[in-house]
Structure 1
Amino acid sequence: MVRTWPLAFGGALATAVAFGPARMGFGLFLPIFRERFALSTAGAGLIASGAFAGFLVALLLTAWLISRRGPRLPVALGSFAAMSGMVLVAISQNTGMLAFGTVLAATSAGFCWSPFNNAAERGVPSERRERALSIISTGTAAGIVGAGVLALAVAGLDHGWRTVWVVFCLAALLSAIVNLYALARLPRGAARTVPRGWLGQLVAPPTWPLLAIALSFGVTNGFYLSFAVDHVSQAGGLAGIATALSGPVLYIALGIGGTVGFLTADIKTRIGLTALVRGIFTCSLASLCLLGLLPTAWSALLLSAALQGACIMVLSAIFSFWSSRLHPGLPTLGFTATLAMFALGNIVGPALGGFLAGPLGLAWTFVAQAAISLATIVLFPGQPRRQSLGDTAS
């Protein structure tokens, strides 16, 4: 067994870069990108959807790479994709360079998500595995907060946003170096044969509730991450501070709210999966409505961002343990199928929301997105269909 701490630290660093600036940086700096590159709302939505499409493609490729080459190669590819994409964003002079850099950087999230589950199984003693995975998962929240703090530090500087993206790039380089070392001594995993009918297992009726909530949250979360900062900026920003500071404040609150995700397993044990899912989508509904209707109120923005951060981290944990329960013989494929539905929603949400914002405006588009969360609460199966929840609802 390799030492736990190098793997845990490397995983936390990889997820911090991939799910912080690489995946969410475009939304954080969208007001500046609008000004510098004359982006329309529809155009911004297409770039954001393209980035999430890159995430989906990388996710599917990663499942194939893990089965053949192990976790080290996809993590390295993710780190280098983040680094290359961030360089392009930092030096971009036109919309094409910006779009390509954004999409390339976002693929890192697809490359760096699932490999660490496989790496922990191979290289961390069972009694330390949950702790290692918990440390790795903290990277997402830390990356979001770090991106917000950096953006806050350079707000108001003419080329400060380019400096921030250079720092992001250096963080991706550090991630590549650390993980090439941490994953180098992993033992080879046992070869696993994929049983016949595996595709039918992935889309069988017991999986529908899980796939449905992944798609639903993918749509709303993709839209939120893409347009939240832009909506606040267009509304005039938070009272008492410069408009440019509002986005970083939102992202810091988003990351801090995500720390609730560490309690997911305990909350699920106490109240059951059905109540937890309905509760978290209630949080999603409230988050979207608060930001849509009260974008310049401090209390509304901070609560909205914290609730959205909690949704991200709690649902990430739910996706992981629920898919493992439903697909004990296909852990990688089952998790990938769930994440693919989430990524599909990420693609649809920003593009659709960007076009709806034309006739509706961003405020009411946020409210329309909230209706998707409301429908999920109403339609999510309860006690009569407990078996469809993989016997985890109790």
Structure 2
Amino acid sequence: MNGNIKVAVAGFLATAVAFGPARMGYGLFLPRFREEFGFSIETAGFIASAAYGSFLLALLLTGFLSPRLGPRAPVIAGGLAAASGMGLVAGASSVHSLAAGVILAASSAGFCWVPYNNAVGRAVSENLWGRVLSIVSTGTTFGIAGAAVLALAILNTGFGWRITWAVFSVAGLAAAVVNAFALGDMRGGGPRDEGAFGIAEDMGLRELLRARAVPLYGVALSFGVTSSIFLSFAVEHVTDAGGLGGGNGEIGPILFLAFGAVGVPGMFTGEFESRIGLRRLLRIIFICSFASLALLGVAPGSWATVLVSAALQGGFVMTVSAVLAFWSLRVFPFIPAVSFTAVLLLVAAGNAAGPALASLAATRIGMGMMFLACGGLSLLTALALPRGVREYSGNQSGS
């Protein structure tokens, strides 16, 4: 198989599993988990935050391992973490074993994303870097949608959620095996392996504290908080509100299918940004996030409202993910892997804090008001973007 295709397919599979069922499957099945194990919404929030926290820790560990072992080792570790964690969920006998599986599976996303910047740089023709990285990142969209379709198909055949998670686990093992072969010649550190710690030490951590990076960091943190709250509690909120007129077992899969399918346009984020400018694009997409969260907060009992909410949030997540990658490169052109890792750490910090804070708020003001407050954060982010953001736009006159 052509080396470019081999890396693209392996990376697509790794991100599909890691950012699909491994990272987002908990929110998809949360109502069933609570019914099975009988835990509170606060416990649900802390499990979600711990899972996102494992993503943060995996990012840090990957930053240490990649320059020393190359991209192969952390990507394989991510696949094995996904397989093991989702296997634990499939066989969980208590909320503690469930939590352990969810947390371990979610760590896979931290192992699989950043190393592919190095893998593509080492194995893919330079003129194809953008195309291959787009294919790799699009695995997220298809992983979420695929997990939803699989869950819907298995649940409609009368099998329980455990079978679904067993299939997820097999997919994680397959991702590890495929990447072991596809990245077989990338065992050691190479000239393109920019360590998240080594280069940062050479350049000085102060390089990451430049004033013009503040909007980038603010967007990353806000994005981390709001997206994790939606992914953790959207299905639970709709279910608690009385469902959608029957077929409540289908709520999660259909909501996540809408979320994943509408994320496909995220592949064209660069084109959108070149036409309208970065600041305008960010304002539009954060207003979409506000609308998504507000709609879910005020009208969780309507299929139309819920599907529009999920679609808007899916477009928001995929678009901002793409923006963060090229925006960090523009702000820090000489330390791209370091800067992207720093941005992802802020996303992960928001991910870890969001669900725990949201669950505490929901017990006091209600789930609907909590979603409205979360939407307010997205709206505030849109309004607070400074005019200087246009400095980093491909179309300098566009915003």
How many percent identity over aligned positions? 48
Q: Is 1:131 the counterpart of 2:131 in the alignment?
A: yes
Task: Write out the 4+ residue segments of structure 1 that deviate beyond 2 Å after TM superposition.
Answer: 154-159, 185-189, 191-198, 389-394
2:235/2:252 contact within 8 Å kept: yes
Q: Is 1:282 the counterpart of 2:283 in the alignment?
A: no
Q: Which deviations, in whole Å up to 9, do the C-alpha atoms of 1:329-360 show, x marking residues without a partner?
A: 21111000000000000011100000100111
Name the residue aligned to 1:253: 258
Name the residue aligned to 2:190: 189
Structure 1 residue matching 2:20: 3-state secondary structure: helix
Report how far residue 297 of structure 1 moved: 1.1
Q: Is 1:51 the counterpart of 2:51 in the alignment?
A: yes
Structure 2 unmatched ranges of 5 or more: none
Structure 1 unmatched ranges of 5 or more: none
**C-alpha distance 304-393 of structure 1, shift in aligned 2 (>3 A):** farther
Partner residue of 1:199 out of 199, 202, 205: 205
Q: Is 1:302 the counterpart of 2:315 in the alignment?
A: no
Name the residue aligned to 2:170: 170
Q: Is 1:90 the counterpart of 2:96 in the alignment?
A: no
Q: Which deviations, in whole Å up to 9, do the C-alpha atoms of 1:21-49 show, x marking residues without a partner?
A: 00000000000011111111110000000
1:206/1:390 contact within 8 Å kept: no
Q: Is 1:271 the counterpart of 2:272 in the alignment?
A: no
Q: Which deviations, in whole Å up to 9, do the C-alpha atoms of 1:303-333 show, x marking residues without a partner?
A: 1111111111111111111111112221111
Q: Which deviations, in whole Å up to 9, do the C-alpha atoms of 1:172-219 show, x marking residues without a partner?
A: 111011100111124962166625452111122111100100000111
- Cα distance between partner residues in 2 of 1:386 and 1:259: 25
Indicate the larger mover: 91-100 or 153-162.
153-162
- Cα distance between partner residues in 2 of 1:152 and 1:390: 41
**C-alpha distance 233-104 of structure 1, shift in aligned 2 (>3 A):** same
Name the residue aligned to 1:238: 244
- Cα distance between partner residues in 1 of 2:287 and 2:305: 15
Indicate the larger mover: 80-89 or 153-162.
153-162
- What is the TM-score of this pair, normalised by structure 2? 0.94
Report how far residue 2 of structure 1 moved: 6.7
Any residues of structure 2 matched to 1:27-106 within 5 Å, and which? 27-106=27-106
- Cα distance between partner residues in 1 of 2:172 and 2:361: 35
Q: Is 1:226 the counterpart of 2:227 in the alignment?
A: no
**C-alpha distance 238-326 of structure 1, shift in aligned 2 (>3 A):** same
Q: How many aligned positions are there?
A: 391
Partner residue of 1:311 out of 316, 338, 343: 316
Partner residue of 2:342 out of 328, 337, 341: 337
- Cα distance between partner residues in 1 of 2:38 and 2:24: 20
- Cα distance between partner residues in 1 of 2:313 and 2:107: 22
2:278/2:390 contact within 8 Å kept: no
Q: Which deviations, in whole Å up to 9, do the C-alpha atoms of 1:139-162 show, x marking residues without a partner?
A: 101110111112212336775100
1:82/1:105 contact within 8 Å kept: yes
Partner residue of 2:372 out of 363, 367, 372: 367
2:51/2:104 contact within 8 Å kept: yes
2:296/2:309 contact within 8 Å kept: yes
Partner residue of 2:386 out of 373, 376, 381: 381
2:274/2:394 contact within 8 Å kept: no
RMSD: 1.8
Report how far residue 130 of structure 1 moved: 1.6
Name the residue aligned to 1:356: 361
Letter in 2 for 1:145: A
Q: Is 1:215 the counterpart of 2:202 in the alignment?
A: no
Letter in 1 for 2:95: T
- Cα distance between partner residues in 2 of 1:63 and 1:296: 43
Report how far residue 257 of structure 1 moved: 1.0
1:326/1:390 contact within 8 Å kept: no
- Cα distance between partner residues in 1 of 2:232 and 2:82: 18
Indicate the larger mover: 228-237 or 71-80.
228-237
Structure 1 residue matching 2:334: 3-state secondary structure: coil
Q: Is 1:24 the counterpart of 2:17 in the alignment?
A: no
Structure 1 residue matching 2:185: 3-state secondary structure: coil
2:273/2:393 contact within 8 Å kept: no
Report how far residue 134 of structure 1 moved: 1.5
Indicate the larger mover: 286-295 or 336-345.
286-295
